[in-house]
Amino acid sequence: CVDWAAVAKLAFGTSLAVVVFGSGLGARFSDVSALLHRPGLLARSLMAVLVLAPALAVALGLVLDVHREVTIALVALTISPLPPLLPSRGAKAGGRSEYALGLVLVLALSAVPVIVVAAAVLQVVFGRDYVATPWAIARLLTLSVLAPLLAGMIVARFSPSTATRLAGPIVRAQRWLLPIAMIALLVSAAPRMWSLL
């Protein structure tokens, strides 16, 4: 019997690592500090991501009077501090890729204290205990975000030709991995979804 939940977890983790590695291939180490030289922009960005988005999710849950579980899910999505598609999407929208990359790194490095504090706040607001150990969060971020990003940046720095050759396969892998992960997730959750319906 196939453990579809494990398949979904592996596929999502692999997809995230591939996306972040691909972002690293197009980045330079000098890009990382671009956002840090603009403290005002950094403060506004963190305020939008870490404060305003969760507050909006809570407000929508209260105004629309949805189930508490739905509100919790919305808030949990907003406090997920990693936008892996932000660098490419930001560039397509006319933004600067170095800003997006810097924001991804700052959010990744701040994720451990952010999620721990957010879990405590959710426990107070919704009366439910959320277990989020700092070590587990740090390990997950290191393996799925920081390590692939640094690996891509190192490849781009020391072997630009290799980075260019890898760009095409990385894009193709991104197109397949996420749909596979979504299918595995739907299959694993289908019995519970059906029982709710």
Residue 179: CB partners within 8 Å, gap ≥ 6? none
Taking only the tens of pLDDT, the chain with its 197 residues reads 677 778 777 887 888 888 888 878 877 777 767 777 888 988 998 888 888 888 888 888 888 888 877 777 788 778 766 654 555 555 555 556 677 777 877 887 787 788 777 777 777 777 766 656 667 777 877 887 888 888 988 998 899 899 889 988 888 887 788 788 888 888 888 888 788 67
Q: How many CB atoms lie within 10 A of CB 62?
A: 10
Angle at 50 (CA atoms; ends 101, 93), nearest 5 degrees: 40
- pLDDT score for 112: 75
The single-letter DSSP state of residue 43 is H
Nearest to 194, CA basis, from 71, 1, 186: 186
Nearest to 163, CA basis, from 151, 155, 154: 155
Q: Which two tokens stand for residue 14?
A: 């692999």
Nearest to 17, CA basis, from 119, 191, 183, 140: 140
Residues in the chain: 197
The span from the first CA to the last CA of the chain, in angstroms, equals 25
- For the CA atoms of the chain, what is the radius of gyration? 18
- pLDDT score for 59: 87
Give the H or E element holding residue 179.
helix 160-196
Nearest to 106, CA basis, from 157, 154, 49, 55: 49
